[in-house]
A and B are shown apart, each in its own frame.
Chain A
Amino acid sequence: MKITKYASPVIFYGFSGKLIPWLGALTALLLGVGLYLGLFVAPADYQQGESYRIMFIHVPSAWMSMFIYVVMAVAGAIGLVWKTKLSEILASACAPVGASFTLIALVTGALWGKPMWGAYWVWDARLTSELILLFLYIGFMALEASIDDPRRAARAAAVLALVGVVNIPIIHFSVEWWNTLHQPASVTKVGAPSIHPSMLAPLLLMAIGFKVYFVTIVLMRMRSTILLREKHTRWVNELLETKS
Chain B
Amino acid sequence: MPDNPARSISKAPAPSLLRAAGCVFWRDLAVAWRRSADVLTPLVFFAIVVSLFPLGVGPEPNMLRTMAPGVLWVAALLATMLSLRRMFSHDYADGSLELLVLAPHPLTVMVLAKVAAHWVLTGIPLMLISPVLAVQLYLPGEAMGTLLLSLLVGTPVLSLLGSVGAALTLGLRGGGVLVSLLVLPLYTPILIFGAGAVASSATGIEAGALLSLMGAMLALALTFAPIATAAAIRISLD
In the complex they form, do A and B come into direct contact, defined as C-beta atoms under 8 angstroms apart? yes
Interface positions, chain A 118-139, Cβ under 8 Å from B, are 132, 135-136, 138-139
Q: Say how far A6's CB is from chain B's closest CB, in angstroms.
A: 26
Hey, what's the 0/1 contact readout for B187-209 against A, CB within 8 Å counting as 1?
A: 01100110010000000000000
Interface positions, chain A 163-189, Cβ under 8 Å from B, are 163-164, 166-167, 170-171, 173-175, 177-178, 181
Q: Is the CB of A139 within 8 A of B181?
A: yes
- Whether A80 sits at the interface, judged by CB under 8 Å, is yes
Q: Is the CB of A143 within 8 A of B192?
A: no
- Whether B224 sits at the interface, judged by CB under 8 Å, is yes
Chain-A contact segment, one of B47-55, B89-97, B167-175 = B167-175
Contact of B182 among A139, A171, A174 (CB under 8 A): A139
- Set of chain B residues within 8 Å of A164, measured between Cβ atoms: 185-186
Q: A156-B232, A159-B168, A159-B231 known; A146 and B178 CB under 8 Å?
A: yes
Chain A residue, CB-CB nearest to B180: A139
Q: Say how far B19's CB is from chain A's closest CB, in angstroms.
A: 29
Chain A residue, CB-CB nearest to B229: A159
Q: Is the CB of B235 within 8 A of A156?
A: yes
- Whether A223 sits at the interface, judged by CB under 8 Å, is no
- Set of chain A residues within 8 Å of B238, measured between Cβ atoms: 152, 155
Q: Point out which of B169, B173, B181 has the most chain A C-beta atoms below 10 A from its C-beta.
A: B181
- Whether B217 sits at the interface, judged by CB under 8 Å, is yes
Q: How far is the CA of A138 from the CA of B184 in the complex (A)?
A: 12
Contact of B164 among A142, A152, A155, A163 (CB under 8 A): A163
- Whether B153 sits at the interface, judged by CB under 8 Å, is no
- Whether B228 sits at the interface, judged by CB under 8 Å, is yes
- Set of chain A residues within 8 Å of B232, measured between Cβ atoms: 156, 159
Q: Is the CB of A170 within 8 A of B231?
A: no
- Whether B236 sits at the interface, judged by CB under 8 Å, is yes
Q: Is the CB of A80 within 8 A of B231?
A: yes
Chain B residue, CB-CB nearest to A131: B185
Q: How far is the CA of A173 from the CA of B193 in the complex (A)?
A: 11
- Whether A204 sits at the interface, judged by CB under 8 Å, is no
Hey, what's the 0/1 contact readout for B99-133 against A, CB within 8 Å counting as 1?
A: 00000000000000000000000000000000000
Q: Is the CB of A136 within 8 A of B192?
A: no
Instruction: Give the total number of A-B pairs whose CB atoms are below 8 A apart.
Output: 76
- Set of chain A residues within 8 Å of B224, measured between Cβ atoms: 163, 166
Q: Point out which of B161, B172, B189, B220 has the most chain A C-beta atoms below 10 A from its C-beta.
A: B189
B: number of interface residues (CB 8 Å) = 28
Q: Is the CB of B168 within 8 A of A136?
A: no
Q: How far is the CA of A100 from the CA of B50 in the complex (A)?
A: 36
Q: Is the CB of A163 within 8 A of B235?
A: no
A: number of interface residues (CB 8 Å) = 28
Q: Point out which of B169, B185, B224 has the most chain A C-beta atoms below 10 A from its C-beta.
A: B185
Q: Is the CB of B185 within 8 A of A174?
A: no
Q: Say how far B17's CB is from chain A's closest CB, in angstroms.
A: 24
Q: A143-B178, A152-B238 known; A162 and B228 CB under 8 Å?
A: yes
- Set of chain A residues within 8 Å of B188, measured between Cβ atoms: 132, 171, 174-175
Q: Is the CB of A139 within 8 A of B172?
A: no
Contact of A177 among B192, B220, B228, B236 (CB under 8 A): B192
Q: A160-B168, A178-B196 known; A146 and B184 CB under 8 Å?
A: no
- Set of chain A residues within 8 Å of B182, measured between Cβ atoms: 139, 142-143, 160
Contact of B236 among A156, A162, A166, A174 (CB under 8 A): A156
Q: How far is the CA of A135 from the CA of B193 in the complex (A)?
A: 20
- Whether A29 sits at the interface, judged by CB under 8 Å, is no
Q: A135-B185, A142-B178 known; A174 and B192 CB under 8 Å?
A: yes
- Set of chain B residues within 8 Å of A160, measured between Cβ atoms: 164, 168, 182
Chain A residue, CB-CB nearest to B186: A167
Q: Is the CB of A174 within 8 A of B193?
A: yes
Q: Is the CB of A181 within 8 A of B196?
A: yes
B residues with a Cβ closer than 8 A to A are 161, 164, 168-169, 172-174, 178, 181-182, 184-186, 188-189, 192-193, 196, 217, 220, 224-225, 228, 231-232, 235-236, 238
A-B pairs with beta carbons under 8 Å apart, 13 shown: A135-B184, A138-B181, A139-B185, A146-B173, A156-B168, A156-B232, A159-B164, A159-B232, A159-B235, A174-B192, A177-B196, A178-B192, A181-B196
